[in-house]
Amino acid sequence: MKKTLLLTIGIWLTMSVCCFAQDNAHLCKMTNDLVALRNAKSDNNTLNKVVLDWSAPGNPKITLMDDLGRDSNNEYVGKNSNKFKINQVVTQVYSRQNAGMKSKGDFFSSTEKGIFYSAIEKTIKKGCTVKYTLTGHVGTQEVVVAAYNPDAKLSVTVNSKTAKLIPGKPGMYSVKIPNVKKEDKMVFVITNSSDSNESIVVLIHNPQK
């Protein structure tokens, strides 16, 4: 009984710390799921649980942030890249939420009408900086950048605004960009100062208003 109570308190405190640092409750919940994936080393059971949870009836839709583009010189693609496996997760969730995709060549966009969450996973080469640009988002944007390695040495800015570590969540950064207009650019600059390639997830809440 005592152990159960302590575990419950621990979970509540973990959720509370995250939510105090983030305005959007669903984004906070998804951030905690990224921590769970990281802790479980993205095993199939945890991956399946996240897919089923994110695509459950009543949950907001999410899409893949293909429109973030690529920084091919500074991204690593190959063995042991994209360790979260979040691109596969979001693709499956999108398919379940939208009754399947029309073709394998469909392009996902974070600006798709009525879909307020988007995510994509990248792997940054050690000692490198990536730069991405997004357009078409509207309203206050809440951004999370999550590193697979909690001890990763990252610096993250969006429109020159520095993302801060989420309290109690090593390797998880958040930043809010207010009053974004459709024609505005959001410029992401992420530096990996670690001694190894680092998998990251970029997760965004875009209210579209």
pLDDT at 23: 80
**Rounded CA separation 190/202 (Å):** 10
Look at residue 10 in the predicted model and tell me its pLDDT.
Answer: 47
* Domain range 2-205, CATH class: mainly beta
Spans of all domains in the chain? 2-205
Q: What is the pLDDT of residue 18?
A: 47
Residues 6+ apart with CB under 8 A from 138: 180, 181, 182, 206, 207, 208, 209
What's the rounded Cα separation, in Å, for the pair 14 and 16?
5
The CA-to-CA distance between both ends of the chain, in Å, stands at 47
Report whether 144 contacts 57 (CB < 8 A). no
Per-residue tens of pLDDT for the chain, all 209 residues:
544 444 444 444 444 444 445 689 999 999 999 999 999 999 999 999 999 999 999 999 999 999 999 999 999 999 999 999 999 999 999 999 998 555 445 689 999 999 999 999 999 999 999 999 999 999 999 999 999 999 999 999 999 999 999 999 999 999 999 999 999 999 999 999 999 999 999 999 999 99
Residue 64: in which H helix or E strand, if any? strand 62-64
For residue 132, the SS3 value is: strand
Q: Which two tokens stand for residue 56?
A: 């459950």
The predicted model scores a pTM of: 0.88
